[in-house]
Structure formats: C-alpha cells, structure tokens
Amino acid sequence: MRGSCVPFSLSVAAALAMAACSVGMLARLPICAQKSQVLRPIHRLLSYPGTAAADARGEQPSSGTVETGSENRTPKKRFSEVQKERREQAQRTILILCPNKVSEKKFLKYLSQHGPINNHFFFESFGLYAVVEFCQKDSVASLQSSARTPSMGTDAAIPFRSRFFNLKLKSSSDQTSEQSSVPCSNQSPPSNKKLFELLRDAESIDDQLNTLLKEFQLTEENTKLRYLTCSLIEDVAAAYFPDCAVRPFGSSVNSFGKLGCDLDMFLDLDEIGKFSAHKTSGNFLMEFQVKNVPSERVATQKILSVIGECLDQFGPGCVGVQKILNARCPLVRFSHQASGFQCDLTTNNRIALKSSELLYIFGSLDSRVRALVFSVRCWARAHSLTSSIPGAWITNFSLTMMVIFFLQRRSPPILPTVDYLKTLTDAEDKCIIEGHNCTFIRDLNRIKPSGNTETLELLLKEFFEYFGNFAFNKNSINIRQGREQNKPESSPLHIQNPFETSLNISKNVSQSQLQKFVDLARESAWILYQNDKGQPSPARSQPWGLAALLLPSVTKSASRAKKSRKKPASERIKNLLESIKSGSAENSSSTNGKRTVNTES
Ligand code: GTP
Ligand code: MG
C-alpha cells in the first residue's frame, strides 16, 4: 500500500501542546488579499450541437437569436473568480454577537475606528448577530488587537483570538435614544403558509416556479455568511496547517442551494505543496520532515480527527462535533451555532468542487434551469422523496442531474452535454484529478445560449412525464453524453458520475423509493395536464399549478389499492394521462386539476 504523509507544519507541536493543557493562544493573521481577476472579453460564442437529442433529429445548431433563459447579457463570472472574490471578502469580514438592542449608527461608528467598512448586515439566530466586512484586512487585525479575552468568573476561558466577537455595552445608558431594533436580514426559507399564499397569487405556473426560486434561493447575505463560516473554520485549521484553505462546495456554491441547506466544505491542503515547489534552486532540494502513514485514507482520517478535536475544543460557536471517520468519505459534522449552518467538513474533495463548478455552469446558462431544479427539489422534499438523513432515498444532487439530463434531451436542447463542454476547451481548461478527466470549458460566456423557448410550465409537466415513463430498469442517465445508456449494473437507479464515470451517484436508491418517485411523477404530470383545462383566476381558493403538486399525495392510496388488488394508482394515472393527451377524456376528472387538501393525518 502506498504510504502517505501528513503535511503538518511546525506550529502543530505548539498547537498539540496547547490542546493537551487547554490553555494558550492560537492566533492567525489573515492571508494576504488576492486581487480579483479582471473579466475576460468574450472571444467567441459557441453553440452546442453535440447533444444527443439534436444529433438524433439531424438538427442544425440553433441560430441562438431567441434568448429565453439568458436574458442578462452582462458577462458572467467564472466559478473560480466568484470563489476567489468571495473568499477574499470573507477574510476581511467578522462576526459579532451584539446586545439585543444596539444602535446601528453607534455600532458602525465604533467599528470604523479600525478602518472603513465595506458593508454589513444583522441577522437573528440565537441572539442578534452582525456580519461586518471591512474594506481592508488590516482592520480585522486592528480590532483583534483591541479586543480582550473575557474573564469568566469561576470558569476558565480558552483564549482563542478568532474573528467571532461579543460586543458588550459598558453601561446600558450608552444607547439611550436610538434603541430601535436594527433591520435584520432573513436567513430562513418562507413558511409553508407564506409559500402557498405566494403561489396562489401568482399569475401563471411559470410565475409560480420563478416565485419559488426567488423565495428559496440563497440570498447575498446568506452566501456571505457561508463563505465567512468557512473562513472562520479555516482560521482554526490554520493553526495546524497555515497555508490551508477551507473551501465551500455543493449547493452552497453550485447555484442550486436553498435557504437552510447544509454547508459542505473541504480542507484544501494542496496549496501547502505548491509554495515549496517554486523555491528550489541549485543542486539541493529541501523537503519537510513528515510522518508517514499507510494510506491517503489514514492521512485524511488523522487530519480530520485533529481538526474535529480542535473545533470541538476551541472552535467558537462550533457545537455537536461528530467525527465520522469510517465513512466512505470521512468527514467531521458539526453545527455552527451562530450562523445556524449544519456543516460537513471533508478533506481534499477536489472532484466534488469540480462537480460544483459544472453545476454552477449549468445553473448560469439559462434561468429556467434553476427555476426547474428548485421546484423539483421542493416537490421531492414535500413528498419525503428526499431527506436530510442518509438512506435509500434520492438525493438533491441526483435530482439536479436528472433535471440537467432532461434539459439536454429537449429539442432544441436547453443544456449542452459535458462532452460538448469539453470540446470547447483551451489548454488552460485542462483538469485531471486523481486520474479522472474533469476538463470542460470554464468561461461560460463562450457557450452560446439555447434557442429553445419552451415555458417552465411545459418543462415541468414534461419532466414528470419523461421520468414517469423512463426505462429505469434498463437505462442509465448520463449527462456526459446527454443520452440514455444501458445500465452497467443492477442498481434500481443509475446516474453516471460525470467525472468518475464508473460510479453511480444514486447507488443508494432502493427499488421502492424509485417506484415512489415514478408514481409521484406520473401523478404530478397528470395534475398539470388537468390544470391546462382551467385558467388560473385570482379568486381560486384551492391550491393550483405548482402549489397543487406540493400538497400531500393521492398516491398514498396506491398502497391501499395494491392491497385491495386494484390496478396501482400510478398505472391508472399513466393511462389517464395518455387519454388526456389524445383528447379522449375531456372531463376525466371532476377536480379540474386541483388536488384537494388531504385532511387525513
Ligand atoms: P443539498 O441537499 O442542498 O445539500 O445538495 P448538495 O448538492 O450540497 O448535496 P450534498 O450535500 O449531499 O453533497 C455535496 C456535494 O457532494 C454535491 O453537490 C456533490 O458535488 C457531491 N456529492 C454528493 N453526493 C455525491 C455522490 O453520490 N457522488 C459524487 N461523486 N458526489 C457526490
Ligand atoms: Mg449540501
């Protein structure tokens, strides 16, 4: 077995000594500010004729004159540019637990002593918090040098100098006249009640999907808070690995994150090796003396074990730390109490970061993509097809892949295939990670928008119909090629991992969960086809369109039907759907497409 080394820095000895006696001081000055890259001009625009659906029909690439989803013509930032800017912003940012009533004006004046403030916002979690972004990083250091470690009475404090502060009032009379409450930014998704009201009042199903997206997508503030949380965790990890980076990945950055989603992050130690590589000269080569361990996995486990311990013992606001080191992908799970984020920390998860970049590109190419993904994710959650607990259910990641695949299959395609994105690359896009070719074009301004003008209503309806009738028993979903392939193994649901192509990202999904998905998809298609027959009216009291799809399912009766040896509900719905489409069942339902509120418990 290949040996691996744990890239400890010298400061680890000091940190370990501190961990042993629970006293000492871990301090870290932020890394130097990095200039954000200037946006590249649009060199050329390319369309994506390579999609299987287009190939099969012998279609010409669309002229791209009709722009549906990509109304915004301003150049779009590359994923790496966004990451770099956000990370640099986060390094200039602090988190403060404030007194309940604080004068915003005095608060800002007080902090401005340390330098100009770029922006700030307040939010409520377990208390009132402020996120303050200084213009310069030096201001953070200045504030840190003026802050004190609290005296805890009989308890002892671990004097960790982080960027998470408590603001205390010296005397309660200090804030006299202006004790109005500060405006707080919302960090939570809307309640069901509010969502149903908004959907009820929407003008069309398209409007409903866009409303849902607007209400659930991560806000600017929530995104800032996510990057700040990673940056705060990086400060802790940097006590051991000074040149490390803690990078967010998954739905926090891939443009498909919903308010309240978890925060996936990984400890990136790759930078450590890079610095030393440049400094070799002459006949000598200097290497660090390191500890060898039997495998990469053991190295990962050891690193995460120590960081987990550190977060548990010293990480301000980190609670409920669990070290899940024997999982396929070892991780440390914890709650960041102030931000309210459930965090999963792994190490060197570069392929997952690349997957996030790929999804970011798909999410940015056409505004219909995110609207559809958000609705499908909410629909799946509403019917317990997905869960926050790991198990035999479909994940949000798999659902996103299914939507992308479906959009690759439209005519003309709304999204290009991964293979096509690879054909657009330059030498600088080349990316091989752990032997896997993860190359695709990173400049999304060079991908021509789709000429497809289908409405969201139609796409949602057809998504459900497509997957309600998909041959899951023999076909695999493959977004590299944008076409079905024969399943290479017998898992009920096979979605090829786009980079580690021998892997199935939905291997965990059981036959019964897949069947539940199919049943619900058919039922939902049926409801939407029924909806065609009645136009939305402001006076309607019953949930309609998307709202009807989010209500408890009538297919609960499917199991009862099975027990009573009737034809399964999903089969009946499939047949009804066929007849509605062929126009032979004009009035097949007295509910006119409205799902009645299920009062059964
Ligand atoms: P949420 O449900 O909103 O958290 O979506 P998510 O996309 O963040 O999913 P999750 O937190 O489960 O996983 C985080 C990231 O890990 C995903 O976005 C993927 O990049 C990656 N990932 C998750 N599951 C798999 C898998 O089964 N295979 C592979 N290759 N990557 C996965
Ligand atoms: Mg996640």
**C-beta 491 within 6 A of ligand 1:** no
Kindly give the distance from the C-alpha atom of residue 142 to the centroid of ligand 1, in angstroms, as a whole number: 39
* Strand (E) or helix (H) holding 91: helix 79-91
**Cα–Cα distance between 115 and 118 in angstroms, integer?**
10
Q: How far is the CA of 460 from the centre of ligand 1 (A)?
A: 23
Top-confidence residue, 186 or 581: 186
**Ligand having the closest approach to the CA of 359:** 1
Distances (CA, A) of 133 to 29, 87, 113: 16, 12, 14
The pLDDT value recorded for residue 443 is 95
**Atom 29 (ligand 1) nearest CA:** 505
pLDDT in tens, 271-300: 765 655 556 667 888 888 988 999 999 999
Instruction: Decide: 217 in ligand 1 pocket, CB within 6 A.
Output: no
Structural Rg of the chain based on CA atoms: 27
Q: What is the mean pLDDT of residues 114-134?
A: 95
Instruction: Indicate which atom in ligand 1 lies nearest the CA of residue 353.
Output: 20
Nearest ligand 1 atom to the CA of 352 is 20
Query: DSSP 3-state assignment of 144?
Result: helix
Report residue 570's pLDDT band, with 50, 70 and 90 as the boundaries.
low
Give the ligand whose atoms come closest to the C-alpha of residue 495.
1
Q: Is there an atom of ligand 1 within 6 Å of 396 CB?
A: yes
Confidence (pLDDT) at 169: 86
Q: Which residues pair with 124 in a beta bridge?
A: 128
Q: Which atom of ligand 1 is nearest to the CA of 356?
A: 20
Burial string for 259-273 (b: 16+ CB within 10 Å, else e) reads eebebbbbbbbeebe
Residue ID of nearest Cα to ligand 1 atom 20: 352
Q: Which ligand is nearest to the CA of 397?
A: 1
Q: Cβ(222) to ligand 1 under 6 A? A: no
pTM for the model stands at: 0.83
Q: Whose CA is nearest to atom 14 of ligand 1?
A: 250
Atom from ligand 1 closest to the CA of residue 507 = 27
Closest ligand 1 atom to the C-alpha of 400? 7
514: Cβ contacts below 8 Å, ≥ 6 apart: 394, 472, 492, 493
Q: What is the distance in A from the centroid of ligand 2 to the CA of 574?
A: 33
Q: Quick one: pLDDT band at residue 180, thresholds 50, 70, 90? A: low
CA of 504 to the centre of ligand 1 (A): 13
pLDDT score of 542:
81
Nearest CA to ligand 1 atom 28: 505
Which of 42-46, 336-340, 484-488 is least confident?
42-46
For residue 506 and ligand 1, the question of a CB distance below 6 A is answered with no
pLDDT attached to residue 349: 87
Q: How far apart are CA 527 and CA 591, in angstroms?
A: 9
Rounded to an integer, the average pLDDT of 199-216 is: 96
Ligand 1 pocket, mutate which of 397, 477, 504 (most atoms under 8 A from CB): 397
Task: Assign 170 a pLDDT band (cuts: 50, 70, 90).
Answer: confident
